[in-house]
């Protein structure tokens, strides 16, 4: 028997590396945090953790696995008492997840305990880590979140806020943070606002979380997005906003709208589902060919395919069915059937495909391996011609802002032009939405249409921050202490 992974790294998508949640002022803080993390499961399926505070002590629980498996029983939640808690979902960027990397990280500082959870990635974490280690810091994990912890520990100032501001001034890259101290829940978003963070309200409690879908699940009300560069402090006196950094033009991640965020979330004032439909409609305007049916690659291709089909006036059909019950691992009885792997997740539904010319709509092509298998599946189900339309521009560059991306050399769009990719994937035609078309689709009436107003670096190479570690020869997004000093 061969145990193989069907983990998300195999499914040929870019993946968010984390989701965060924090709550202050609820007697059910840990239970609500667990529910919030469950709603954010799509942002990280490798491991999750919660740290609560009951007025006297911090209580941590972290484990590898899905949120429901880790926090689904009443006993675990009962061991996390208190009216304040933060939680974190995580994707690992390497094959093995070390327990010590599971967030929130916790440490005792001179000012007291502090738990920290981070969505994003620092582009100068290795550089900072080297300086910290040379100064005597002892690291226990391989996450860049621990770099932030050490920077806070080394900072000075009468208030925790002063230390956090000092620490964050030194870091480059993308971060949406939640932190829990003895008296406060704290949220911070990087000055460019690359990763999302929203503020919500549930009765007397305040919530900070990555997406509005985590507010919906607990019946909380969306209050507002945390602004880029803003630090939000929540304590018994309410919510305090601090904006200590010079204002710069914000560059939120455009891929949140294309794929990462849940379609029922609202981000930066835009409903993700409606935005994806508009992108699909723009894609149809740019590159439609006459066909009998528009077929989404589920689930992520569905809203764009709906928008595409509506705009093109072509029937929308479910020609691919997704199995939602694929676990993290699967035991294959023999090596011979390993190539069937993609069918664990998708199967062609021959009724709407046989004898038809079809457009397949997907959100992105990363390595192209899954696309090729899906196209083959659709052809085997009887489709006469298969045209693929992609609701993002070609992904030609790696992400260094908290998204799991293969190396640039592995990206299909880096290795081939569209004609080459058409051949590699085996379709009759292939088209991507243009970067201009994407910005047109993102722009609601009255919005500033001038590009760039988002981070679009994986399509353009226009990285909105310095890439200190990469430029210093460290191309890995994640720190790895185990392979030696940077």
Closest separation in Å from C-beta 414 to ligand SF4 = 13
254 binds ligand SF4 (CB under 6 A): yes
| CA atoms within a 13 Å half-sphere pointing along the CA-CB vector of 305 | 25
Give residues 29-88 in contact with ligand SF4 (rule: CB under 6 A): none
Q: Among residues 22, 61, 69, 62, which one has the least CA distance to residue 41?
A: 69
231 binds ligand SF4 (CB under 6 A): no
363 binds ligand SF4 (CB under 6 A): no
259 binds ligand SF4 (CB under 6 A): no
Interface residue with ligand SF4 among 21, 58, 206, 401 (CB under 6 A) is 401
Interface residue with ligand SF4 among 21, 106, 255, 308 (CB under 6 A) is 255
Q: Which is nearer to ligand SF4, 73 or 471 (CB)?
A: 471
Residue with tokens 């339309």: 389
Rounded distance between C-alpha atoms, residue 358 and residue 370, angstroms: 18
Q: Which is nearer to ligand SF4, 253 or 306 (CB)?
A: 253
Q: SS3 for 304-356, per residue?
A: HHHHHHHHHCCCECCCEEECCCCCCEEEECCHHHHHHHHHHCEEECCCCCCCC
Q: Which is nearer to ligand SF4, 167 or 458 (CB)?
A: 458
403 binds ligand SF4 (CB under 6 A): yes
* Options 286-294, 339-347, 353-361, 398-406: segment touching ligand SF4 (CB under 6 A): 398-406
Closest separation in Å from C-beta 386 to ligand SF4 = 27
Q: Which is nearer to ligand SF4, 24 or 257 (CB)?
A: 257
Closest separation in Å from C-beta 186 to ligand SF4 = 23
Q: Among residues 210, 187, 186, which one has the least CA distance to residue 197?
A: 210
What binding mask, one character per residue, do residues 441-470 give for ligand SF4 by CB under 6 A, x or -? --------------xxxx------------
Q: Which is nearer to ligand SF4, 165 or 192 (CB)?
A: 192
DSSP H stretches of helix in 248-301 = 255, 272-287
Beta strand pairing status for 429-432 and 385-390?
parallel
Q: Is 239 helix (H, G, I), strand (E, B) or coil?
A: strand
Give residues 302-331 in contact with ligand SF4 (rule: CB under 6 A): none
* Options 19-27, 67-75, 250-258, 478-486: segment touching ligand SF4 (CB under 6 A): 250-258
Consecutive H or E run containing 441: helix 435-442
Q: Which is nearer to ligand SF4, 271 or 408 (CB)?
A: 408
Which residues, 6+ apart, have CB-to-CB distance to 410 below 8 Å? 366, 367
18 binds ligand SF4 (CB under 6 A): no
435 binds ligand SF4 (CB under 6 A): no
Which residues, 6+ apart, have CB-to-CB distance to 352 below 8 Å? 293, 295, 317, 318, 319
Strand order in the sheet with 385-390: 293-296, 357-362, 385-390, 429-432
Q: Residue 265 has which token pair? A: 């979330």
Which residues, 6+ apart, have CB-to-CB distance to 453 below 8 Å? 249, 250, 251, 439, 442
Closest separation in Å from C-beta 118 to ligand SF4 = 15
Q: Which is nearer to ligand SF4, 209 or 364 (CB)?
A: 364
Q: Among residues 335, 364, 332, 349, which one has the least CA distance to residue 458?
A: 364
253 binds ligand SF4 (CB under 6 A): yes
Closest separation in Å from C-beta 149 to ligand SF4 = 23
Interface residue with ligand SF4 among 194, 293, 294, 305 (CB under 6 A) is 194
Number of residues that bind ligand SF4 (CB under 6 A): 12
Closest separation in Å from C-beta 460 to ligand SF4 = 9
Q: Which is nearer to ligand SF4, 67 or 403 (CB)?
A: 403
399 binds ligand SF4 (CB under 6 A): yes
* Options 211-219, 285-293, 399-407, 408-416: segment touching ligand SF4 (CB under 6 A): 399-407
Q: Residue 78 to residues 74, 103, 205, 344, 477: CA-CA distances in angstroms?
A: 6, 19, 19, 37, 36
Secondary structure (DSSP) of 55-73 = SS-EEEEEEES-HHHHH-S
Closest separation in Å from C-beta 221 to ligand SF4 = 28
> How many Cβ atoms are within 10 Å of 340's Cβ, its own excluded?
10
Residues that are catalytic: 18
Q: In this structure, what is the dihedral angle of CA atoms 106, 212, 454, 283, given to the nearest 10 degrees?
A: 140
Rounded distance between C-alpha atoms, residue 302 and residue 53, angstroms: 41
Closest separation in Å from C-beta 301 to ligand SF4 = 17
Q: Is the peptide bond before 446 cis (omega within 30 degrees of 0)?
A: no
Q: Which residues bind ligand SF4 (CB under 6 A)?
A: 14, 194, 253-255, 399, 401, 403, 455-458
């Amino acid at each position: 028997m061969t145990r193989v992974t069907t983990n998300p790294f195999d499914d040929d998508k870019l993946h968010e590396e984390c989701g965060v949640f924090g709550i202050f002022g609820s007697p059910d803080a840990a239970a609500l945090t667990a529910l919030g993390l469950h709603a954010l499961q799509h942002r990280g399926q490798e491991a999750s953790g919660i740290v609560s505070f009951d007025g006297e002590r911090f209580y941590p629980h972290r484990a590898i696995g899905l949120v429901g498996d880790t926090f689904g029983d009443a006993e675990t939640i009962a061991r996390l008492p208190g009216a304040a808690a933060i939680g974190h979902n995580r994707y690992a960027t390497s094959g093995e997840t070390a327990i010590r990397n599971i967030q929130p990280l916790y440490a005792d500082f001179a000012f007291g305990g502090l738990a920290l959870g981070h969505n994003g990635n620092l582009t100068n974490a290795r550089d900072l880590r080297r300086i910290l280690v040379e100064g005597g810091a002892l690291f226990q994990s391989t996450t860049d979140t621990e770099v932030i912890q050490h920077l806070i520990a080394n900072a000075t100032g009468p208030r925790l806020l002063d230390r956090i501001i000092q620490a964050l001034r030194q870091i480059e890259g993308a971060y949406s943070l939640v932190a829990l101290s003895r008296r406060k829940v704290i949220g911070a978003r990087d000055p460019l606002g690359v990763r999302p963070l929203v503020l919500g309200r549930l009765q007397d409690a305040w919530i900070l979380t990555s997406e509005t879908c985590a507010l919906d699940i607990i019946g909380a009300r969306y209050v507002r997005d945390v602004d880029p560069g803003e630090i939000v402090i929540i304590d018994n006196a309410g919510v305090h906003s601090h904006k200590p950094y010079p204002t710069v033009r914000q560059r939120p991640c455009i891929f949140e709208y294309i794929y990462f965020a849940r379609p029922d979330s609202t981000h930066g004032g835009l409903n993700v589902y409606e935005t994806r439909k508009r992108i699909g409609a723009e894609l149809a305007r740019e590159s439609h060919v006459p066909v009998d049916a528009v077929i989404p690659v589920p689930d992520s291709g569905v809203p764009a395919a709906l928008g595409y089909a509506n705009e093109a006036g072509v029937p929308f059909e479910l020609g691919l069915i997704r199995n939602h019950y694929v676990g993290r691992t699967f035991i294959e009885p023999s090596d011979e059937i390993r190539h069937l792997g993609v069918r664990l997740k998708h199967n062609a539904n021959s009724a709407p495909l046989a004898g038809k010319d079809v457009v397949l709509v997907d959100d992105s092509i990363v390595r192209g391996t899954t696309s090729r298998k899906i196209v083959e599946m659709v052809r085997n189900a009887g489709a006469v011609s298969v045209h693929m339309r992609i609701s993002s521009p070609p992904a030609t560059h790696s992400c260094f802002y908290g998204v799991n991306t293969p190396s640039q050399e592995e990206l299909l769009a880096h290795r081939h032009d569209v004609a080459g990719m058409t051949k590699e994937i085996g379709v009759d035609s292939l088209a991507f939405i243009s970067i201009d078309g994407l910005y047109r689709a993102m722009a609601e009436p009255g919005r500033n249409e001038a590009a760039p107003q988002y981070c679009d670096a994986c399509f353009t190479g226009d990285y909105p921050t310095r890439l200190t570690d990469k430029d210093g020869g460290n191309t890995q997004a994640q720190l790895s202490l185990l392979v030696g000093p940077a």
